Chains A and B, each alone.
Chain A
Amino acid sequence: MRELICITCPRGCHLVVDDNKNVTGNFCPRGVTYAINEITRLVRVVTSSVKLTNSVYPRVSVKTKDPIPKSKIGAVMEEINRVSLKAPVKIGDIAIQNVLNLGVDVVVTKNIDK
């Protein structure tokens, strides 16, 4: 049995998942999806910023386009810290393709012209 706080929405239902993966305490079906994912496939979107040259702004924000395994966050951050982009950049530009072969790109989340 595991107790979790559902974070899908601000309601924050207190969920209980039993050994047969039955979920209780959820207000809506999203709570079930959340709980099952949290115990079987612990993933997070990582957001950060990377170096930017040719711009008045020295950094531009990025994120992993999809969630990555939580255990890989540290390694992905190391990759992110190695990247340097050149302005202009725009939302969706790829900063790192298929980071650490996880099948997920790291993409730019801000438009910076110069």
Chain B
Amino acid sequence: MIKKHYDLVVIGGGSAGMAGAIEAHKLGIKNILIIDRNDYLGGILNQCVHNGFGLTEFKEELTGPEFMTRLSDEVKALNIEYVLNTTVTSILPDKTIFASNRDGYHIIKAKAILVTTGCYERNAGAIMLPGERPSGVITAGTAQLYLNVYGYLVGKRVFILGSGDIGLIMARRLTLEGAKVLGVAEICPYSNGLNRNIVQCLKDYNIPLYLSHTVSDVKGSDGRLLGITISQVDEHNNIIPGTAKGFECDTLLLPVGLVPNSPLLRDAGVELSRNKGAIINERYETNICGIFTAGNVLHVHDLVDLVTKESRLVAHYINEYLKGNSIIDQIYRPVIAGDGLGYVLPHKVGTHPLNEVTFKFRVRRPVKDVNVIFYEDNQTIKSVFKPVLIPSEMTEITLSLDELKQFKQTINVKLEAKQ
């Protein structure tokens, strides 16, 4: 039975939602509800049957389903209330939640909300894929769900566009299940996947990786994919004439990026950043007091261990908020990401942070031997040397309360080549 009032409602019972709820419970918040639209707790990990999860969280290498079960076992052991098969349809700025399930429509009031609704996949339209749209052009996560949960192989001759982790992992999975993976094309001059996956998913199976290549044509017949053409691109991603290569295939897999699943937040009036995640302060609170967010709906993470860590931290801020330790009159200093930085979180830091602040960022392209500099005007407040930074790995740098105090108007972050 869903009650009418909760101290904390967690929307989305994936790893972020469960870790946040567990930590909140441990901090003494007792009246918690987790809502998820699936028929299980665990989110995307249910279909990630490969291993490599949990190296920091549990100090061992687990598969996705094992990782999510560790968390869901704990949710159950702590008697944290959760409802499944229930979709949140909207939230209001006063923290009223509307949810729908088989029993009907529910209106729930929360003192605080943690939104952990994960992300969705970019598709053919989002990348303006040229050519026809026959069946056989499919996003990689969907193919992963079909294969790993429902047991359907999406095709026998597969080409993959995009070398992020999902693409690499699917290249191996499809190969192991008997499909021929002809190659992986990547528009960037470098791969966007973890090294582990380049080695264990492509090199192990001699699957070619075409860097600086994209799909330039898609052809079908009778509604089914017949083949594709890939071409090399220049540094502005323009196709170089005369570089076309054709492949006969029945499937084109599109692991072409993930987008925060944030419409609930947007419709509640939460300000979103360019990447579609919420704009947050150092407490992971949105512009609506009491609405917090973490996990892939905030920014896409490569490691689930970082998702759970983030969400547990947010639970601490939710606890402070519920205890009334929210300083509404603090003035925010915007965090400004300089050239070469994709984004920096949090987007703003108040004049009275409760704790040190860990900034999270990604570079736009791989860089070597750089100093990451936090500065204002001409004054460097912190400089951290990094031998390598790559776009596929989120980097964290922590600033102490003393360091944070030195910024007046803005917190600027830039990369500078080390002499």
**A residues within 8 Å of B by Cβ?**
4-7, 9-12, 44-49, 51, 57-59, 61, 63, 70, 73, 77, 91, 109-111
Contacts and interface: CB of A to CB of B under 8 A. Distances in A.
A59 B145 CA distance: 11
A61 B302 CA distance: 21
A98 to B, nearest CB: 20
Given A45-B61, A109-B63, 14 more contacts: A5-B198, A7-B194, A7-B199, A7-B200, A44-B200, A44-B204, A58-B150, A59-B149, A61-B65, A63-B63, A70-B204, A91-B69, A109-B65, A110-B66
Contacts of A51: 151
B69 to A, nearest CB: 6
B49 A49 contact: yes
B50 A47 contact: yes
B200 A49 contact: no
Contacts of B173: 48
Given A10-B303, A110-B69, A61 B49 contact: yes
Contacts of A63: 49, 51, 63
B150 A59 contact: yes
A33 B66 CA distance: 26
Contacts, number: 72
B150 A109 contact: no
Contacts of A48: 49, 173, 176-177
B310 interface: no
A54 to B, nearest CB: 15
Given A47-B63, A49-B148, A110-B69, A12 B176 contact: no
Q: Identify which of B66, B199, B200 gathers the most chain A CB atoms within 10 Å of its CB.
A: B66
Interface residues of B, number: 29
B354 interface: no
Nearest to B302: A10
B53 to A, nearest CB: 11
Given A51-B151, A91-B69, A9 B49 contact: no
A7 B49 contact: no
B69 A47 contact: no
Interface in B197-215: 198-200, 204
Interface string B232-264: 000000000000000000000000000000000
A46 B177 CA distance: 12
Closest 7 CB pairs of A and B: A12-B195, A7-B196, A61-B49, A110-B65, A59-B151, A109-B63, A5-B195
B151 A47 contact: no
A57 B176 CA distance: 21
Interface string B379-417: 000000000100001000000000000000000000000
Interface of B: 46, 49-51, 55, 61, 63, 65-66, 69, 147-151, 173, 176-177, 194-196, 198-200, 204, 302-303, 388, 393
A90 to B, nearest CB: 9
Given A5-B198, A10-B194, A45-B61, A59 B148 contact: yes
Contacts of B195: 5-7, 10, 12
Nearest to A108: B65
A45 B196 CA distance: 13
A91 B63 CA distance: 11
28 contacts: A6-B195, A7-B196, A10-B194, A10-B303, A12-B196, A44-B204, A45-B61, A48-B49, A48-B176, A48-B177, A49-B49, A49-B149, A51-B151, A57-B149, A58-B150, A58-B151, A59-B149, A59-B150, A61-B63, A61-B65, A63-B51, A63-B63, A73-B176, A91-B65, A91-B66, A109-B63, A109-B66, A110-B69
Contacts of A77: 176-177
B297 to A, nearest CB: 22
A44 B388 CA distance: 27
Contacts of B149: 49, 57, 59
A17 to B, nearest CB: 14
Contacts of A7: 194-196, 199-200
A62 B255 CA distance: 24
B286 to A, nearest CB: 29
Contact of B176 (A4, A46, A109): A46
